[in-house]
Amino acid sequence: MIAIVDYGMGNLHSVKKAFDFIGAESEIVTEPAAIDAAEKIVLPGVGAFADAIDTLQKKQLVNPLKQAIEDGRYFLGICLGLQMLFDISYEDGQFPGLGVIPGQVVRFDLSDLPDHAELKIPHMGWNALNIKGDIPIYQGIENGSYVYFVHSYYVTPTDNAVIATTTTHGCEFVSSIARNNLFATQFHPEKSQRIGLQILKNFANL
């Protein structure tokens, strides 16, 4: 069973509907015990970084999530669920993350680019993936495939080996990561139509 973690800040039902569509068994969960029992975990998220981390802590979900990753269970973070895996975020201040992946979360700064006036922040809409190597969740996905983004911040890993894809919006940024059993995307696969459904199917089939 795939546990979709509900901490009050995610596109839960869109993610659940996407898994239902591909025939993958999933359940929206709120309790630490449900995460402990899950075969795979999905951590979605939209909203403010600091509020999300605070809510995870108050609901006592931080340790079960980190333990699941350490145990080798397959884990998928989506959007804010990617960013929270990192050490620190500079969204509206400076806030510690879960510290699973070394690195930072920073805001787009396109002010030095000659065409910056044409580029909007948040980065919203469809953009292409540059896939780096043989990544299990991208099996059957062509390099350059388009997926759907909504974000103003992006991750900067300390170790480039975790970079699974990059995307360009004024600058080249990390649009997903992969490390062993852990995968996380800045884009929303549940909103990315055929390509996104294939990514979720690949994850479900791991």
> Quick check: 48 pLDDT over 90?
yes
| Identified catalytic residue from 123, 151, 169, 188 | 188
DSSP assignments along 140-177, one per residue: TPPTT-EEEEEESEEEEESSGGGEEEEEEESEEEEEEE
Q: Tell me the pLDDT band of 9, cut-offs 50, 70 and 90.
A: confident
Convert the pLDDT of each residue in 96-133 to its tens digit. Answer: 999 999 999 999 988 776 665 578 889 999 999 999 99
Q: What is the reported pLDDT for 111?
A: 78
| Identified catalytic residue from 27, 79, 169, 172 | 79
Amino acid at 183: F
Task: Tell me, yes or no, if 188 is annotated catalytic.
Answer: yes
Task: Tell me, yes or no, if 190 is annotated catalytic.
Answer: yes
Task: Tell me, yes or no, if 123 is annotated catalytic.
Answer: no
Global confidence as pTM? 0.96
- Domains in the chain, CATH or no CATH each: 2-204 (3.40.50.880)
